[in-house]
Structure 1
């Protein structure tokens, strides 16, 4: 780590706004060219060169067939051991299409229809949608005022689950949208409560490589061998369009994997497996440069907000490239405009209209999202400065 924003190695400073606007992904196409898009979780970076070279070689060879996932699992094994001192046996890992599809696979391994999925809100909106689409009931256990797990509330949620049914705690670690990175002590307490109440834990750890150096990452399965977790290189290396993920079982949950439907193995795309294998195997230096740029940006964001929009609440995230902004002091109505399914509501709708800045509205994240918006700071400092200046003018 230790890269500065000005470093030529900082991936966030290598593409111009003009170059980025040539992209056809959702981040750049949903809104017009006058809008600065800081909403969906896509980075404004070029591909890490090992990833780009792997994909170029595949195209040159016409290598567009079915995936071979053995090297993918091996690359993740090496990355986890090096970064987190976490040894994962091959028998504990199954490739899946992507993280949220893998979450559904995991939930179906350990639940029956109409059983309960507990989530800490505010939380990534698919945590509500995917379980409900699968016939499960979602119960919110809101985070505390500090954005961390409220263990009294969590225990109440575990205790009040459907009588006689199976309950699962769907843990977001690191937390999206707050950027909180759960400590080992917090995760141990989660595991103790889950064991006491017969609750299984499924952890979404997609942002694990994006934890800043002042807060280490603890894999959930190192404190709970009965848990299941989902991993992917997609967020850290900006590979959301190359579908692949990993479902990992704790040492005491490996037998659960035997119940996975055979078709799950065919879910990952070949390009996704190739790209993520290269990222885990050879993308460490690029990731460190990215983390240096993100560290500079999360600090710059605090300074910019203090100068241009001082009443916006902001706690510097410990992980991810997402900032959870509280606009309560500006008197926004609690009711979302455009319906709960719209990603741009409340303060985000006002800022889109009046500032030309696209953020993700807080209502979709559940209880605690009111009068909030999520800002993606995986962009250049020039874009970040312009965006916050626009926000400040719109709120003045």
Structure 2
């Protein structure tokens, strides 16, 4: 069977299921061949042609040495200015191995072992894995019932910040922006209020902004992405950015740790050995995505809009008791399955009875019980079959 992609202007509806099953990444190898995977954050796409050419050229030329220079930061600055009007100074950006390792670097200069890192669950599970691995403690400040940051003066964030700073210890708030798993884009007003609240309590903000390019295009009619560094009060924050999620480059990942204008000294304190793990070919891929892959990404975003509508229609028809709030800032869907009566972990039922793999809600922390995360970064045919299988499991 050939694996040559068909010509298509829709990268999400180009590859067949047989072609996808020939892949050897975790999405397609974690489960038995009869399981349909719509879980981990990999998209079922053909790569943007410019990325393929750039990486192929590097391999042909033997350009596989150690990374060097500021081209990655410059490419991000150009993209951010064009897409969001965000003025990024490349001199305040450092290349790191990936977003989570960059977060560990940031925690290393802002806190000491034993200090508290506040998170807002349900949230990206590696937050709960990497923070303890860095010898810091997580403290929950859950989202509100409608999935927003709890920014009230006596709300979850204010209480967590006060507790984290008790005894005068340093503390960090680890923000997911846009939020994973809900797909919510935090508004400029929310981010400005967050910065003010953190400043009142003496808490520093580190923002995971890896899903930013998926948040939509200017003129889409949806709230666009705003970096925490771009709002009043964000000058002391640090942010991690990368094209790796939007252009499906998890296996060629590299990220940038970007400092607000009053946090440059913190960036300078990141140990030089943090640069040792940077994948030079990964940087080449990320730069190619930013410089040559914008039209490709727009095609993906158009397809994702259609996939969200499709999922909503399929759930209304086949699983009407599943609640789905259609957010737009990732290719992930957060499904409330509590009314199905499948307990805290409905993902196990969908896997065992329906042979479809989704991410279990409890792994996202408080508020995750009874939920699953569904990956929309795939074809319409796979989404349809996945919902059919889930319905058959119920």
Runs of 4+ in 1 over 4 A off after TM superposition: none
Matched, 1:320 2:330: yes
The answer for the alignment partner of 2:360 in structure 1 is 361
The TM-score, its normalising length taken from structure 2, stands at: 0.94
Matched, 1:282 2:289: no
The answer for the alignment partner of 1:246 in structure 2 is 256
Matched, 1:158 2:157: no
Superposed displacement of residue 69, structure 1 = 3.8
Partner-residue secondary structure (3-state), 1:138: strand
Partner Cα distance (1:8, 1:90) in 2: 35
Superposed displacement of residue 153, structure 1 = 1.2
Partner Cα distance (2:69, 2:276) in 1: 10
Matched, 1:178 2:182: yes
Aligned positions of 1:339-354 closer than 5 A: 346-354=345-353
Aligned positions of 1:221-236 closer than 5 A: 221-223=229-231, 224-236=234-246
Partner Cα distance (1:95, 1:38) in 2: 31
Matched, 1:237 2:239: no
Pick the aligned partner of 2:208 from 204, 211, 214: 204
Superposed displacement of residue 333, structure 1 = 2.6
Partner Cα distance (1:70, 1:117) in 2: 30
The answer for the alignment partner of 1:115 in structure 2 is 115
Partner Cα distance (2:268, 2:68) in 1: 19
Matched, 1:216 2:224: yes
How many correspondences in the alignment?
378
Partner-residue secondary structure (3-state), 2:236: coil
The answer for the alignment partner of 2:34 in structure 1 is 34
Partner Cα distance (1:352, 1:333) in 2: 14
Partner Cα distance (1:304, 1:164) in 2: 52
Partner-residue secondary structure (3-state), 1:160: helix
For the Cα contact (< 8 Å) 1:121–1:366, is it kept in 2? yes
The answer for the alignment partner of 1:372 in structure 2 is 371
Partner Cα distance (2:294, 2:328) in 1: 19
The answer for the alignment partner of 1:296 in structure 2 is 306
Partner Cα distance (1:333, 1:74) in 2: 48
Matched, 1:388 2:392: no
Structure 1 gaps of 5+ residues are: 1-6, 335-345
Partner-residue secondary structure (3-state), 2:252: coil
Matched, 1:272 2:282: yes
Partner-residue secondary structure (3-state), 1:88: coil
For the Cα contact (< 8 Å) 1:351–1:357, is it kept in 2? yes
Partner-residue secondary structure (3-state), 2:235: coil
The answer for the alignment partner of 1:60 in structure 2 is 60
Aligned positions of 1:180-195 closer than 5 A: 180-195=184-199
Select between 155-164 and 25-34 the one with higher mean Cα deviation.
155-164
The answer for the alignment partner of 1:342 in structure 2 is none
For the Cα contact (< 8 Å) 1:69–1:95, is it kept in 2? no
Partner-residue secondary structure (3-state), 1:229: strand
Partner-residue secondary structure (3-state), 2:118: strand
For the Cα contact (< 8 Å) 2:236–2:261, is it kept in 1? yes
For the Cα contact (< 8 Å) 2:243–2:249, is it kept in 1? yes
